[in-house]
Structure 1
Amino acid sequence: MTQFRLARAARALMLAAAVLLLAPAAAPARSATPDQIAHYLESYDYDHAAPLNAELSTRSDSGTYTVHSLAFDSVNGERVPALLFLPANGAPAHPCVVFLHGYGGDKSMANMFAPSLTGGGLAVLAIDAQYHGERKQPGKNVLTTDADNNRAAFHQSIMDLRRAVDYLETRDDIDASRIGFLGVSMGSFMGAVFAGVDARVKTALFIVGGGGWDEFFANSQVPPIVAIREHCGKTGAPLATFADSMQSVDAVYFVGLMAPRPMLMINCSDDIIVPKQNAELLFEAAGEPKHIEWFKCGGTGHIPPPGKTQILIGKWFKKNL
């Protein structure tokens, strides 16, 4: 092993110890060991200098902001489609919010937030997660009864977010020292890992996100998770073993690395998709400074009040980005 690899391994072990020390109360029922966490952290290493081969074209111009179609190279030979929203006014180098949609959605979900964010002088970069949007593949999904498939899809999407920041660093009109993250549902699960392993993210805001696969697989009522429970019941495979095999993409093991970068969570106390317990696990695993806003949302409890959510988002990024 080279001196570089030894140093990297030592750093990973130190980070793993920090994760456990930051949030001892939040450890899932079946905790990963420090050596395992160090191994997981190393799996997020990559060559930042790898060519992006970015392609950009103007899609629309509202007068207050422009929307551009973007594609860039990620790890594992993946090509990532994205949307880049640039404000018409503001400082020459804009802060930027990286956005990731929820399960079953795509990058166009950023249109819900881009008008207000660009109005505040922020750029927005939204990508399609693996097997979503332009990356859909017949018979492929990020949540299936194949835990290895799920882990690989989550890991790929997290790496794609890191490559998105690499792209932002190439642009003169983006202030790469002021990168934030906004994720919704699945986007928050992935984003909490991303923000933990990538120190370039200055602040993060998670909407109806959570962590802790053991509890999530046991309690969530989202259809693919129900299907996983039924599959394990029929085959006799322990649900906890299924959850264990996805530890390397479990947000509770990584979100603590964000500290002292600030984090905001917006959750629904009556959520049956991301149960309250999972939101609490993620919040407890995070270091300070952090804050959580709770709403009683009705229905599936997975959609916080849009108006209040938009206000919270605007205030948070104005203060922290």
Structure 2
Amino acid sequence: MTSALHVRETLLGDLRELVFSFDIAGETVPGLAYLPTGATDPMPLVLIQHPGMGSKEDYFVAEVGRGWAKRGWICVGLDAPLHGERASHDPMSLFREPERHPAIRAQFAAEVSRMIDLLAEALPVDMTRIGFAGYSMGSMLGIPAVARDGRFKAAAFCLVGEGGLVGRIEGPEADVPKLSSVAVRIVGKLQDELIPRERTEALYNAIEGEKDIRWLPGGHFEIGPDVVRAAEEWLRAKL
């Protein structure tokens, strides 16, 4: 392992679990990765990003990551700024202080790119098959990160719309136009009480290139198997 990546490894049957961290811009970023035991051929790398108030240990990050890793993927989760091991007493202040959004977008995008660089040095990553799945805040932060990195092949952005942490969808500062080389699926909820349907549709309409939208029943906070399945189906088809 590269000396810039601090790793504790555990064998979980047919999987390797890596609890890792790295430093960037004065921050320590904790992560969690799963991959098949004994695999040496290059594999897709998929970042699964948690929603607000969550962490990399969430069921729909860690448990889903273990399941997807058995398909031959390297599945990774990061603690977002102010969350998980980086927790603040008020992580949701991110949503109430829009003046911080540009800095948070830039911070997380840099962390994601650094993570890919380090894991590619340490693990058999197929750099032509990098994917992303995010839920709510995970997608809000993920859109700028995926767009700015430029190496992602496919992404499933779940429970998200234009504005807020995503930023503008058009103009010189917008990240959304940079997704044109990424196969994107948007997953929305028909009874979403947090993100109006028109905001999700505005985001979808602003995306150029290959894209798809899937509407599922239920509210914003119902991140169930249907959401996970919609993300998995897209990534399996496009990676």
Say which is worse superposed, 62-71 or 310-319, in terms of deviation: 310-319
Say which is worse superposed, 197-206 or 61-70, in terms of deviation: 61-70
Higher helix share: 1
Give yes or no for contact 1:67–1:84 (8 Å, CA) kept in 2: yes
Counterpart for residue 177 of structure 2: 256
1:154 and 1:138 mapped to 2: Cα distance? 20
Q: TM-score, normalised by structure 1?
A: 0.66
1:32-71, aligned counterparts within 5 Å? 53-58=4-9, 60-71=10-21
Residue 122 of structure 2 aligns to a residue whose secondary structure is coil
Counterpart for residue 313 of structure 1: 231
Q: What is the CA deviation profile of residues 180-223 of structure 1, one whole-angstrom value per residue up to 9, with x for unaligned ones? A: 1111100101111111111111111111122223xxxxxxxxxx
Give the one of 262, 282, 296 matched to 2:217.
296
Say which is worse superposed, 85-94 or 266-275, in terms of deviation: 85-94
Change (3 A) 1:317 1:139: closer
Give the one of 120, 145, 148 matched to 1:197.
148
Q: Given residue 206 of structure 2, which amino acid in structure 1 is its aligned partner?
A: A
Residue 273 of structure 1 aligns to a residue whose secondary structure is coil
Give the one of 108, 115, 122 matched to 1:164.
115
Counterpart for residue 222 of structure 1: none
Give yes or no for contact 1:82–1:126 (8 Å, CA) kept in 2: yes
Give the one of 120, 132, 135 matched to 2:71.
120
Give the one of 168, 185, 190 matched to 1:269.
190
Counterpart for residue 47 of structure 2: 98
Q: TM-score, normalised by structure 2?
A: 0.87
Say which is worse superposed, 307-316 or 169-178, in terms of deviation: 307-316
Change (3 A) 1:307 1:137: closer
Shift of 1:63: 1.2
Give the one of 132, 136, 142 matched to 2:83.
132
Residue 75 of structure 2 aligns to a residue whose secondary structure is strand
2:3 and 2:157 mapped to 1: Cα distance? 27
Change (3 A) 1:255 1:149: closer
Shift of 1:254: 1.3
Shift of 1:118: 0.8
Shift of 1:167: 1.5
Give yes or no for contact 1:91–1:121 (8 Å, CA) kept in 2: no
Q: What is the CA deviation profile of residues 233-292 of structure 1, one whole-angstrom value per residue up to 9, with x for unaligned ones? A: xxxxxxxxxxxxx7xx51622122121321011110210122212211211111121001
Shift of 1:151: 3.6
Q: Given residue 70 of structure 1, which amino acid in structure 2 is its aligned partner?
A: F
Q: What is the CA deviation profile of residues 284-308 of structure 1, one whole-angstrom value per residue up to 9, with x for unaligned ones? A: 11112100100121xx44325x333
Give yes or no for contact 2:108–2:145 (8 Å, CA) kept in 1: no
Shift of 1:78: 1.3
Larger Rg: 1
Higher strand share: 2
Give yes or no for contact 2:66–2:75 (8 Å, CA) kept in 1: no
Q: Given residue 263 of structure 1, which amino acid in structure 2 is its aligned partner?
A: V
Q: Given residue 62 of structure 1, which amino acid in structure 2 is its aligned partner?
A: L
Q: Given residue 294 of structure 1, which amino acid in structure 2 is its aligned partner?
A: W
1:126 and 1:118 mapped to 2: Cα distance? 12
Counterpart for residue 41 of structure 1: none
Aligned residues with identical type, % of pairs: 25
2:55 and 2:157 mapped to 1: Cα distance? 17
Give yes or no for contact 1:143–1:150 (8 Å, CA) kept in 2: yes
2:92 and 2:3 mapped to 1: Cα distance? 25
1:254 and 1:154 mapped to 2: Cα distance? 10
1:90 and 1:318 mapped to 2: Cα distance? 19
1:164 and 1:140 mapped to 2: Cα distance? 22
Q: How many residues align?
A: 232
Shift of 1:85: 1.0
1:258 and 1:78 mapped to 2: Cα distance? 27
Q: Given residue 259 of structure 1, which amino acid in structure 2 is its aligned partner?
A: S
Residue 88 of structure 2 aligns to a residue whose secondary structure is coil
Give yes or no for contact 1:71–1:80 (8 Å, CA) kept in 2: yes
Give yes or no for contact 1:106–1:127 (8 Å, CA) kept in 2: yes
